[in-house]
Structure 1
């Protein structure tokens, strides 16, 4: 899906078998320190995939490579089959992102933040406004469209950031620690919102977190620790692989650098 100027066409359904995200053999270093070491993972279309790892695991570095904030000089990253290095415009037009740091303009209204994003993606004013109000209504925020962002709660700001990421109808949504700083109720609502998008729109989601409670049976899980992938599969498969009675126990065994699980 590539939005045409002044238009918001219905999203293109990915070809059968094409992953929303495919990362293969990516290594990235800052000087002598490897932030990522031969990382490979995939996010199938229409799936909720959790990227689970402690702070400093390399999650934000990986997101920066996928979004082209950093240049991947090794391996390959494909979004809906498009190489982010060789076909950046096609790849990034199919991608929506919610970064860990808040990026809304606090002095602008909710609607103006959304329209600015739409303009950057070549969407005309009328189509952008229609899409913004549609998404805000779906999320119960239509009555806040004219409010300055600084007057919203933290949870509402996050919801607006997700709405903004969806403005151009992406087929892959990246969220980097999106619940940081939110209370328990806001966190649960945000997770439910994103899971609803997977179910209703069939988008692929990569949800980076260090909070195990945000992951549920049936999810795909990638465990990243010290820049390396320690597990990549289903929630249930991870329990079977480690013999853990729950995800917390499985995770601790996978990141135990003193045992074979970390080898």
Structure 2
């Protein structure tokens, strides 16, 4: 069973088409990158995956649940780190996690166990009592990842999670998330417009003007298209007269 299936997904803002017949799947335990220039339609896709927008055409399945027919069950299998942080800066690391656990309806025992596990997994145990505003950008992102994993989802979605981080922190975050795939079997969908966050053995989807213009393993796409990832990306996302995106 795939961790994520997007089938024939289309979405329009009035007369403006933002997504057109987008389909792809993500296997369990894989790191997949969704790559696209600004305005490609990534934000609209993320809004649909997280049900900030209702589906118009097509369907999304998280695990064995349809977001259209069983949204609550589907969303329980999804953890999300949005581009803009939603942490409470005046609460401690642990308080942010416990508040999220309460929103998911976890029991006190479940909360205690999972908070301890995530603090350890994200190397945050010694920072548990620090207020979030005292942390640097990279550690704040780790708190958000810990929070997103508290309810043990199958799929972790990170929307431009490295925005605003310095190069060393970006690299550390990217490597850390990849380790979650290897060590925990979590599937990851990482959206970005930065080519250096993508590796040769990643699953890759390239979105341009609301359409999926390429899908497959990075090295296979490079071999088929010729050149390197930069030239492939530039060729597939060359501006055209008709654009649709958000």
Q: Same fold (TM over 0.5)?
A: yes
Q: Higher relative contact order at CA 8 Å, sep ≥6: structure 1 or structure 2?
A: 2
Match of 1:131 in 2: 114
Q: What residue number does 1:35 align with?
A: 18
* TM-score normalised per structure 1: 0.89
Any idea what the Cα deviations from partners look like across 1:183-225, whole Å, max 9, x if unmatched?
1111111011110010011111110000100101110000001
Alignment of 1:65 with 2:48, yes or no, is yes
Matched length: 241
Mapped contact 2:37–2:237 kept (Cα < 8 A): no
- Matched with 2:101 is 118
Question: What is aligned with 1:248?
Answer: 230
- What is the SS of the residue equivalent to 2:57? coil
Instruction: Please list every run of at least 4 consecutive aligned residues from structure 1 whose deviation after the TM superposition is greater than 2 angstroms.
Output: none
Counterparts in 2 of 1:124-163, with a 5 A limit?
Answer: 124-163=107-146
- Give the whole-Å Cα distance in 2 for the aligned partners of 1:254 and 1:107: 44
Q: Any residues of structure 2 matched to 1:73-222 within 5 Å, and which? A: 73-222=56-205
Q: Normalization by structure 2: what TM-score?
A: 0.95
- Note the residue ranges of structure 1 that are not aligned, 5 or more in a row: 1-17, 259-263
| Contact 1:24 1:41 (8 Å CA) reproduced | yes
* Contact 2:26 2:187 (8 Å CA) reproduced: yes
- Can you give the 5+ residue segments of structure 2 that lack an aligned partner in the other structure? 241-246
1:257 Cα deviation from its structure 2 partner: 4.2
Find the aligned partners of 2:58 and 2:209 in 1 and give their Cα distance.
18
Aligned residues of 1:242 and 1:254 also touching (Cα < 8 A): no
Alpha-carbon distance in 2 for matches of 1:137, 1:40: 36
Structure-1 residue corresponding to 2:243: none
Give me the whole-angstrom Cα distance separating, in 2, the residues matched to 1:60 and 1:98: 13
- Taking the aligned partners of 1:164 and 1:35, their CA distance within structure 2 comes to 30
